[in-house]
Amino acid sequence: MIITEKNNYINGTAVLAPNVHPREDEEKKEKVSIDRKALKEERDKKLKGKLKIMRNIALIFVVGVAVVGRYSQIYTMQRQLNTLNREISNINKDNESLKLELAKYNNLKFIENIATTKLKMIRPTKADVMYVDMSKEVIKK
């Protein structure tokens, strides 16, 4: 076995106390504490960045849900409006057909034709006429 760098080994019972430089230890501690603070600050910055991203994603999601909900309401109201317009159109058509039918029934020749053909009525003659005196009170109270 070959031993290299024998200087690193301390042999014997009269070992000298190592030279400790308190400034170096303090400087190392300060460097370590500064490094830890820097790491903590960097971690906090990353965490804040992630929180901002998550907040923005949540905000976009909420806005998207609100927009989609509003569009669904608009779509529903548009369907109702179309249905009501169709009903109004149908009612107007029925109204026009009823007006035409009413105009047909207001014609005296049509009424006379129906009375003579379907109801078997005949025109009254002068012999069928009966006169009533309306000057007297016929119905007693």
What residue segments make up the domains of the chain, in order of their start?
Answer: 24-93
- Placement of tokens 């290299």 in the chain: 4
Nearest-angstrom CA–CA distance, 141 and 129: 28
* N-term to C-term CA, the chain: 153
CB 76 within 8 A of CB 69: no
Nearest-angstrom CA–CA distance, 67 and 73: 10
Overall pTM > 0.85: no
Beta strands in 3-137, from DSSP E residues, in sequence order: none
Nearest-angstrom CA–CA distance, 80 and 71: 14
Name residues of the chain where pLDDT drops below 50.
1
Give the pLDDT confidence of 55-70 residue by residue, as tens digits.
999 999 999 999 999 9
pLDDT of residue 1: 46
pLDDT of residue 12: 56
pLDDT of residue 57: 97
